[in-house]
Amino acid sequence: NVNFVPVWRCLQQITRAQPPTKAQLLFHTQASSVVMPPRLTCTNRLLSIRPMSWPASRLCHEDSRSPSERADSKGGFSLRALGHAPKPALYLGFSGLIPFISAPLLMAATQSFYPEVAYAQMVYGATIVSFLGGARWGFAIPEGSPAQPDWMNLGNSVVPSLLAWLALLCRDNFAEGALVVIMGLGLSLHYDLTLLPGYPSWFKAMRTVLTLVATFSLAATLAIKKFCSEKKIKEIQN
C-alpha cells in the first residue's frame, strides 16, 4: 500500500497533462479493482442473481395439488377423474341408465318394437333433461359457488326443461320426441362443459359418459322402430 499511493498520484498528473494510453487505462482499471471495497463486489454479485421466473414458481405450486384440482384449474377434464367421484354419485348416476338401456335390450331380444316401452323410455329421458337444468340452479344459488346466479347460468338452465316439455307433447310420434330428448341431452352437456363452467372434473367426466350412453340407447330404439315390426303389449297379453 505504501508504494501504491505515489504511483496513483503520478498517474493522475499524467492523465491531466495528456490523453491516457491503452496501457494507462488498463492500469487504471486494475488499480480501481484493487481499491474497491469487498462489500461493493458482493453487492454487485447479489444484484446479478436473477430471480425465479413466474412460470417455474407456478409449476411448483401446481405440483402440490391433486390431479382433479389441476384439471379444474385448466378448465378441462379426463375420464380418469371418475376415480375421484364420490361413490353415491357413481352408483346413483350409472344406475340411472337402467331405464335407458333396458328398453332397447328388451325390444332387441324380442325383435319387436313396443310403442309403450319406447314412450316410457322417452318420458324418462325428458325427466332427466329437466333434472339437468334444475341441477344448475341448485349449483349456482348457494353463496360462495363458482357459478354465479346470473342470466346466463339461470336462463340457459330453463332451456332443457322447455325441451323436455316439447318432447312430452310428441306422444303420437316417438321419433320426434326421441330426437328432442337427444337434443336436450346434448345441449345440457354443452352448457355444463363449455358455456357454464364450474362443475368439478369428476362430474364433467361422469356427465359425458352418462349422456353418451343415454343418447346411444335412444338411437338404438329408433333403429329398432325402423327395422323391426311393431307390436303392442296389450295384444300380447290378450
Which tens digits make up the pLDDT trace of 8-43?
455 555 545 555 565 555 555 555 544 444 444 444
In this predicted structure, what is the pLDDT of residue 64? 45
* Residue 70 pLDDT greater than 90, yes or no: no
- 29 or 161: whose pLDDT is higher? 161
Cα–Cα distance, 4 to 179 (Å, whole number): 98
Contacts of 229 (CB under 8 A, 6+ apart): 111, 112, 113
* Residue 234 pLDDT greater than 90, yes or no: no
Percent of the chain with pLDDT over 70: 66
pTM: 0.67
In this predicted structure, what is the pLDDT of residue 85? 92
Percent of the chain with pLDDT over 90: 50
* Residue 72 pLDDT greater than 60, yes or no: no
Average pLDDT, stretch 62-83? 58
Contacts 24+ apart (CB under 8 A), 202-205: 202/68, 202/77, 202/81, 202/82, 202/83, 202/84, 202/85, 202/89, 203/85, 203/89, 204/77, 204/81, 205/77, 205/78, 205/79, 205/80, 205/81, 205/82, 205/85
Cα–Cα distance, 149 to 191 (Å, whole number): 15
The amino acid that residue 197 corresponds to is P
Lowest mean pLDDT among 46-55, 98-107, 139-148, 166-175: 46-55
Whole-number mean pLDDT of the chain? Answer: 78
